[in-house]
Amino acid sequence: MEVFLEAFVTAFTLIFNLDAALFEIVGLSLKISVTSLIVASIIGFPIGVFLAITRFSGRSILISIFNSLMGMPPVVVGLIVYLLVSRSGPLGWLEILYTPYAMILAQLFLILPIIISLSTQIFEELHKEYKDFFIIFSVPPKKSVTTYISDSKDSLITIFLAGFGRAVSEVGAVIIVGGNIDHVTRVMTTTIALETSKGDLPLALALGIILLSISLIINVIANRMKIKINKEING
């Protein structure tokens, strides 16, 4: 018991003293997760709009595929990205294996189906509500898309937060393509796994506390967004 108490005390000491090694890992984690999330949003939201307002052959199958990919195991994503960016892979010429860029790519593949699937559902509901109105007043497609995004911004923020939570807490894919290299690709989740296996509990606990705090903040914000949306719908 004394060992665990000592580990907790040391962990909080590292946090409150703003330990350089600790916050280097935290900073890299946030940088990779935020970058992958921004790229996924830039790609995913337009695809969500397109799937919501466009009818074409195979649309339902495509939506089902994206819905299924939401639950894809991270280690499978890591393996796919590894095969893509390894020296003998089709993207091997980029030479990004075991770099943060490969980790961003892996997280992008994990987040993108979430962004596309959830945004499609939101935009589809709005399209059903506004479709006749836009047809009557001959609203151009570009203007209608802008209206959908504007009216659903709170819901899109919730999706954004869900994607970030998925990215920042991921370990399987990033450890495969990143290699968990010190000062290069070592992020919070991979460091927790490594330090726990080594028996270095203070650093693992400190990172675990920070990661848990980030997840808690994300959930609080997301729940407040949901409450606000429900009030607007019911009010």
> What is the domain extent for residue 49?
2-234
Q: Is the dihedral of CA 60, 141, 162, 183 positive or negative?
A: positive
Q: Is the dihedral of CA 200, 206, 207, 211 positive or negative?
A: positive
Instruction: Supply the pLDDT for residue 222.
Output: 74
Instruction: Supply the pLDDT for residue 39.
Output: 95
Cα 42 to Cα 78, 149, 165, 175, distances in angstroms:
22, 13, 17, 25
Higher pLDDT, 154 or 98: 98
* CA distance from start to end of the chain: 53
Cα 76 to Cα 71, 102, 106, 173, distances in angstroms:
11, 14, 10, 7
Instruction: Supply the pLDDT for residue 138.
Output: 75
Side-chain half-sphere of 204: how many Cα atoms within 13 Å?
Answer: 13
Return the SS3 of 10.
helix
Q: Which two tokens stand for residue 35?
A: 């970058």
pLDDT tens track for 218-231 = 878 777 776 666 66
Instruction: Please tell me the distance from the alpha carbon of residue 146 to that of residue 116, in angstroms, as a whole number.
Output: 17
Beta strands in the chain (DSSP E): none
DSSP state of 94: G
Cα 52 to Cα 31, 122, 136, 198, distances in angstroms:
31, 8, 19, 49
* Mean pLDDT, residues 110-116: 94
Domain count, the chain: 1
Q: Is the dihedral of CA 115, 116, 117, 123 positive or negative?
A: positive
169, 32 Cβ separation under 8 angstroms: no
pLDDT tens track for 119-162 = 998 888 888 888 777 777 777 777 777 777 777 777 888 888 88
Instruction: Supply the pLDDT for residue 151.
Output: 78
pLDDT tens track for 178-200 = 999 988 999 999 999 988 888 88
Instruction: Supply the pLDDT for residue 2.
Output: 64
pTM tops 0.85, yes or no: yes
Cα 67 → chain centroid: 15
Side-chain half-sphere of 87: how many Cα atoms within 13 Å?
Answer: 0
How high is the mean pLDDT of the chain?
87
Instruction: Supply the pLDDT for residue 185.
Output: 93
Instruction: Supply the pLDDT for residue 233.
Output: 52
Residue type, 75: V
Q: Which of 14, 35, 53, 29 is nearest to 146 (CA)?
A: 53
Instruction: Supply the pLDDT for residue 78.
Output: 94
List the CATH number of the domain containing 225.
Answer: 1.10.3720.10
Neighbours of 44 (CB within 10 A): 26
